[in-house]
Amino acid sequence: MKDGPAPGHRVVVTGIGAVSGWGWGADELWRGLAGGAAAIGVPARFDTRRHRTRLAAEVPPSPNGLAASVPGWRRLSRADRFAVAAAMEACRQAGLEGDDARGFDLGVFFGGSTAGMAECERFFHGLTERRRARISLLVSHPLNAPGDAVARLVGARGPVQSLSSACASGALAIGAALDALRDGDVAMAVAGGADSLCHLTFAGFNSLRIVDAEHCRPFRRQRQGLNLGEGAGVLVLETLEHARRRGARPLAELLGAGASCDAHHMTAPHPQGAGAALALRSALGDAGVAAGDVGFVNAHGTGTPQNDAAEWRAIEQVFGERARRIPVTATKGAVGHLLGSSGAIEAVATVQCLAAGAAHAAPGDGGADEDLGVDLVVGGARPLAPDCVAVSTSFGFGGANAVLVLRGWPR
């Protein structure tokens, strides 16, 4: 250990929820991750025929009965639905169903980058084609819509914050929840992010030529770019005292969070990973954890040549010689890049790895790019110590960086 942790309450994760290309649920996500395959293919609902590349990790149709269990489901955007489904699941696991969760001590902290853009595109298409469009398609267009939908669902009366800082949004939202919990502004928080596939991001990332026409291959030599995904990840966070008081079982401890900015370029990362390293150091300092204590990295790992190389340089700077011996995985290889919510679903995946005592493998064949030296988890899960300290990294457009530090909760 180096510096002491940031003052305030200890914060634990007591519930997780997820919607991903593997399905509607955290169990579905973990089964997919543990299986070592990718939920990436040619989408059925989302038409990619006119785009430069075809693949994405599309969320399958929702399970029977879900729509009926959520008030106002019909009016929710696709991203809203992912958000509320993941939040319901997380609250259920945390034992917060019904009126237990409702109150002034509950906050919602949510990140995302597209919100109701998919529905907005339908609106715009109608306006362009027929000069007529249904205004109701825009109800969930604002970027606060998924977080607000979750807040309505859980009956939150405390702070509700929506953040949109590109691909760092979800992790930044979880970091904001950590601050609020430490300060005593809330006793519980629902934190995460949600995003859905849409033509704007699909065409936009393709225009930058950073989408892999094949399955993405984070940290592999042949990597060509990312695959987009959609879904949501949600954590229920609460102070340790609060969890103990109500008999909730922690799944992991959220030790710290850090944020930084490259201040370098709108889309390209700093080539030496300077901003990413700053966020890593900031998060470790906030957590009161030394670099030598970290036993697992769930990397941002988009699969683009530049990003992965810059991220590796950041990891090397922070962890030094040990960097080559820390297991690194990349959840995006399995569920695609969920953009603003990627940090949220990767936080869920990190908690799952810690709870299972195993880092999931990055899907695909072959080892890591030898030029990088990363100890990529491939070919099967890698065991983790019960009290392993893990970091989950998120680096976004505009140089926005966010890192979370989590520790396994001994079973």
Give the residue numbers marked as catalytic. Answer: 167, 300, 337
Report the first-to-last Cα separation within the chain, whole angstroms: 22
State the nearest-atom distance from the C-beta of 155 to other proteins, in Å. 5
- The smaller minimum CB distance to other proteins, of residues 136 and 222, is found at 136
- The smaller minimum CB distance to other proteins, of residues 184 and 383, is found at 184
- The smaller minimum CB distance to other proteins, of residues 129 and 371, is found at 129
301 φ, ψ to 5°?
Answer: 35, 70
The strand pair at 188-195 and 106-111 is best described as parallel
Q: How far apart are CA 195 and CA 345, in angstroms?
A: 11
Relative orientation angle of helices 26-35 and 342-356, to the nearest 10 degrees? 70
Record the tokens describing residue 42, joined without a space: 């040619």
- The smaller minimum CB distance to other proteins, of residues 100 and 179, is found at 179
**Number of CB atoms found within 10 A of residue 274's CB:** 19
**Percent helix, percent strand, percent coil in the chain, to nearest 5:** 40, 20, 40
Q: How far apart are CA 171 and CA 151, in angstroms?
A: 18
State the nearest-atom distance from the C-beta of 325 to other proteins, in Å. 29
Q: How far apart are CA 354 and CA 346, in angstroms?
A: 12
